[in-house]
Chain A
Amino acid sequence: MKPRFVGQPIKRKEDPRLVTGASAYVDDIVLPGMLHMAVARSIHAHARIKSIDTSRASKLPGVRAVVTGEEIAANCGQLPAAGDIKNMKRPVHHPLAVGKVRFVGEPIAAVLATDAYVARDAAELIQIDYEELPAVTNPEKAVQQGSPILHEEFSDNVAYSFGWENGNTEDGFSKADTVVKQRFINQRLAPVSMEPRGVIAAIRMPENELVVWSSTQVPHLLKTQLGLMLGIPENRMRVIAPEVGGGFGSKLNVYAEEALVGYLAKKVGQPVKWIESRRENMAGTIHGRDQINDVELALKKDGTILAMKLKVIADIGAYYQLLTAIIPTLTGLLAPGAYRVPALKFDLVAAFTNKMATDAYRGAGRPEATYLIERIIDIAARKLGMDPVDIRRKNFPKPAEFPFQTSGGVFYDSANYEKALDRALEVADYKGLRKKQAELRKQGKYMGIGFSSYVEICAMGPSIAMASGGWESGTVRIEPTGTVTVSTGASPHGQGQETSFAQIAADELGIDMENVTVLHGDTARTPYGIGTFGSRATAVGGTAMYLALQDLKEKMKKFAAHMLETTPGNIEFEVGKLVMTGTARSVSFMDVVTSAYVAKKLPPGVEPGLEATRFFEPSNFTFPFGTHICVVEIDEETGEPKVVKYVAVDDCGNVINPLLVEGQVHGGIVQGISQALYEEVVYDENGQLLSGTLMDYAVPRAHDFPMFELERTVTPSPVNPMGIKGAGEAGTIGSTPSVVNAVVDALAPLGVTHIDMPLRPEKIWKILKLGRAS
């Protein structure tokens, strides 16, 4: 049966409710008797809490409860943190600070009131007497002796050290004709989902069940962890992720406020709501990146890479959130990028500093790797006098070499790096661009062309590499009336799997997409699952559904064979019916469904009903790849770099819905360009957050970008039966270095070899002025 839906740019089933305002995000949910929580937070980066006076807040009319750290510590577990890294220091992390605060925005007390305005008023009335302590915000200083120590139960701020070596690095360096070195700063970013976080909790009868609505990417994990924290048996917990307004990794977590809302709802016996303000979001929702990468690359004079040394200092902030410890370790896995790097030595030190925790932000540890390898290879090309295209081509493994074991310690599943590069060169008209650049240079203008031939790690799984399992679940039920309900353990929040999963189910069963409903994000309506992150929902979750569909098809074939008096091997699916191969004989889809439910004439050994659940455990990650080419022009007067052309050729394996893939790539590219040019979370030396609002933190705007030119190559993944690699993070991972490479290329005539991100106009302006002066 030829696919009717898979591969087509089908508009989303999600959208009618979203474009009409009918959808319900957490803040849109109102429950009878609902109270509102507000949180009093630390104004200091590092301080002892000498006393907390809640009396004025408690007396404010409308206030129902005020809680502080001791009460919560006595009644609620600590925040969970994954990672089993050797010698990892595990500091105490209560939902509300006890005794000491370690970053600006750390929750200290929570107020419950009948009205959200009153709750905020009351939080302001809480008097906290602090004894300020010296803060440390520089991770290199934090791990030195004499630094203020965040967690006094430990002797220093080294959260953990970690490292490994694959191949013989020293041997590679000893044989090198040239060695290039560079320090790269991968600055701290804020995820800034447009919907801030939000939580509602309510005790529901008759089971005394705690129902939690949270703007989360991981409802099942949240159910397990909140149950443990609050001492509620998991079978009396239900978590619902309603409409979720973006996550980008920031909602792949278990936060203090989720526990506080749950605790308070239980304590007062009324529903409780908390909606994060944007200021709270900037200070108290996880940040991303924040690594210093010292890279050395050894090469032969023809550009062949021999070995690489990578030292990473990760500034992880004051505490671990869920995946804080794990993210920087991923950087080592992907450090060789799309190249044959025979030996790699990776050393990582994670430092506690007086800042919010870093954790998974779109790409999560891999953008850092892609940035450093794509930058250092450009630096090497310039030193060797090679074209950036030639040095990349020289070091690509060939398609026949896959699965390809890298010195990062992973097996790349499948790829044709050269094909994507060649297509990008063609689309961008590389020769023409270089010609134009030469002409502009003659006129004293600065135009640069930047490359990024990235690879990335997607479809997370497998479980062996994941803290809490890397599988995913899917249930398919064909209802007695013939409509189909799919429920997935993944938890999409904008990616569009209500549509893409329906495309798959409809094609597999030969029915119309309108007859398929996809449920997600409610632990009571879906099988236990892991969630949506790491570009995994379709490649892993979609595969679980696909396997369940195969089970149902096999079962339906048995019913059809019984009805047509043949064997199941002679039955195939067509649109609306099951046909006996090579004959005109068939039974309708509906007749088979009816037969399975009325169960009067069951085939021998076959159970009634049409429902199947499967759990898919992937054997490996998938490794999407591609080449991005960025062209920038720099305003000589202001130093402002402008992206004037952007070509992306991505390969995410087989595609279910090209419209959705395109959307993922668009958004990813913009987030990546924005890291290169605009965004940075800034703390001053005292640990005060200077980028605490959207006035100060530069989320990019529509006018910052041209229209992108996108193309795809298709190299199916062998890791899952549909050959999908995943598309959620490629844009972000691929784009950042292409932009920086372009700006450095533009400024190369001035002798510039590197500039740290974000490439703000003033940095470039200074270079232009100094360059001219010299």
Chain B
Amino acid sequence: MDVKITINGKLYEKDIEPRLLLTHFIRDAAGLTGTHVGCETSICGACTVLAGGLAVKSCTMFAVQANGAEILTIEGMAREGEMHPLQESFWEEHGLQCGFCTPGMIMTCHQLLTRNPSPDETQIRGALDGNLCRCTGYQNIVKAVQSAAGKMKHRRGAAAGD
């Protein structure tokens, strides 16, 4: 089947098997390997990407279901060599260790902060429930999201003041 899927602003047109998972389209067809596969059952969240702004588990979505969609992956988060505030904050707050869950975590957090720019700790923990991390105990991930929320608010404030 022919599909047209835009990933991080670039259009990929491919003839694919109907059973090809979106995550494998992203990883193999587009060669963007920052999206990881951790469980193949949509529990661990390592494969989370944004499809039309919505966080989805790309391991349990067929690529054909994303035909025509705009996908954002971890590789699309930094702009002109500058990290997204979430990426910066995960770095600064030591919100990652082995890094395998991190791209999915960041994409989920991106959706959270889009919907709720000032989440409290409980809301952050709740939003992260679809993403497993085995290294950090989530402690510094929560701190990273809080820090990123502050930065994004500040930047929006600065932009509004321009």
Interface residues of A (CB under 8 A from B): 11-12, 14-16, 18-25, 27-28, 117, 192-196, 243-246, 248, 275, 277-279, 493-496, 659-660, 662-663, 666-671, 693-695, 699, 701-703, 705, 707-708, 731
Separation of A248 and B38 alpha carbons in the complex (Å): 16
Mark B133-155 against chain A: 1 for CB-CB distance below 8 A, else 0: 11111111110000000000000
Please provide the chain B residues from 33 to 51 with a CB less than 8 Å away from any CB of chain A in the complex: 33-41, 43-44, 46
Please provide the chain B residues from 5 to 61 with a CB less than 8 Å away from any CB of chain A in the complex: 17, 19-20, 27, 32-41, 43-44, 46
- B99–A14 CB distance below 8 A: yes
Q: Cβ of B121 < 8 Å from any Cβ of A?
A: yes
- A494–B99 CB distance below 8 A: yes
- B94–A194 CB distance below 8 A: no
- A702–B106 CB distance below 8 A: no
Contact among B17, B33, B39, B91 with A24 in the assembled complex (CB-CB below 8 Å): B33
Which residues from B are CB-within-8-Å of A11? 91-92, 94
Which residues from B are CB-within-8-Å of A731? 137
Separation of A28 and B103 alpha carbons in the complex (Å): 14
Contact among A21, A694, A705 with B103 in the assembled complex (CB-CB below 8 Å): A21
- B100–A667 CB distance below 8 A: no
12 CB-based A-B contacts, threshold 8 Å: A22-B34, A27-B36, A193-B98, A194-B46, A243-B98, A243-B99, A248-B134, A275-B37, A278-B44, A494-B98, A666-B139, A669-B137
Which residues from A are CB-within-8-Å of B141? 702
Separation of A363 and B102 alpha carbons in the complex (Å): 25
Separation of A477 and B74 alpha carbons in the complex (Å): 35
Residue of B nearest to A278 (CB): B39
Given contact pairs A193-B134, A703-B125, A18 touches B142 in the complex (Cβ within 8 A): no
Number of A-B contacts defined by CB within 8 Å: 172
- B100–A194 CB distance below 8 A: yes
Q: Cβ of B97 < 8 Å from any Cβ of A?
A: yes
Q: Cβ of B75 < 8 Å from any Cβ of A?
A: yes
- B38–A195 CB distance below 8 A: yes
- A663–B140 CB distance below 8 A: yes
Residue of A nearest to B135 (CB): A667
Mark B100-139 against chain A: 1 for CB-CB distance below 8 A, else 0: 1111001000000000000001101110110111111111
Given contacts A25-B36, A194-B44, 4 further A-B contacts (CB under 8 A): A19-B74, A21-B32, A28-B27, A666-B137
- A702–B125 CB distance below 8 A: yes
Q: How far is the CB of A13 from chain B (nearest CB, A)?
A: 10
Given contact pairs A12-B91, A278-B40, A702-B142, A495 touches B97 in the complex (Cβ within 8 A): yes
Separation of A16 and B106 alpha carbons in the complex (Å): 13
Given contact pairs A22-B34, A703-B129, A494 touches B40 in the complex (Cβ within 8 A): no
Q: Cβ of B77 < 8 Å from any Cβ of A?
A: yes
Contact among B44, B96, B125, B139 with A15 in the assembled complex (CB-CB below 8 Å): B96
Tally B residues with Cβ within 8 Å of A: 56
Which residues from B are CB-within-8-Å of A666? 136-137, 139-140
Residue of A nearest to B98 (CB): A494
Contact among A21, A245, A703, A708 with B137 in the assembled complex (CB-CB below 8 Å): A708
- A21–B73 CB distance below 8 A: yes
- A494–B126 CB distance below 8 A: no
Contact among B33, B35, B92, B132 with A194 in the assembled complex (CB-CB below 8 Å): B132
- B41–A278 CB distance below 8 A: yes
- A667–B97 CB distance below 8 A: yes
Separation of A335 and B128 alpha carbons in the complex (Å): 38
Interface residues of B (CB under 8 A from A): 17, 19-20, 27, 32-41, 43-44, 46, 73-75, 77-78, 83, 87, 90-92, 94, 96-103, 106, 121-122, 124-126, 128-129, 131-142
Separation of A702 and B92 alpha carbons in the complex (Å): 19
Separation of A493 and B129 alpha carbons in the complex (Å): 24
- B121–A707 CB distance below 8 A: yes
Separation of A663 and B39 alpha carbons in the complex (Å): 24
Which residues from B are CB-within-8-Å of A275? 37
Contact among B19, B39, B77 with A694 in the assembled complex (CB-CB below 8 Å): B39
Which residues from B are CB-within-8-Å of A694? 39, 41, 43-44, 132
- B91–A15 CB distance below 8 A: yes
- A18–B102 CB distance below 8 A: yes
Which residues from A are CB-within-8-Å of B39? 278, 693-694
- A20–B129 CB distance below 8 A: no
Which residues from B are CB-within-8-Å of A14? 99
Separation of A277 and B43 alpha carbons in the complex (Å): 13
Which residues from B are CB-within-8-Å of A248? 134
Contact among A28, A117, A494, A702 with B135 in the assembled complex (CB-CB below 8 Å): A494
Most chain A CB atoms below 10 A, which of B17, B132, B135, B137: B137
- B129–A701 CB distance below 8 A: yes
Q: How far is the CB of A6 from chain B (nearest CB, A)?
A: 17
Most chain B CB atoms below 10 A, which of A667, A668, A693: A667
Q: How far is the CB of A628 from chain B (nearest CB, A)?
A: 13
Which residues from A are CB-within-8-Å of B101? 194
Residue of A nearest to B78 (CB): A20
Given contact pairs A19-B83, A20-B78, A194-B38, A117 touches B96 in the complex (Cβ within 8 A): no
- B83–A667 CB distance below 8 A: no
Separation of A494 and B96 alpha carbons in the complex (Å): 8
- B124–A702 CB distance below 8 A: yes
Separation of A699 and B90 alpha carbons in the complex (Å): 22
- B90–A19 CB distance below 8 A: yes
Q: How far is the CB of B59 from chain A (nearest CB, A)?
A: 10
Residue of B nearest to A277 (CB): B40
Separation of A278 and B42 alpha carbons in the complex (Å): 11
- A117–B19 CB distance below 8 A: yes
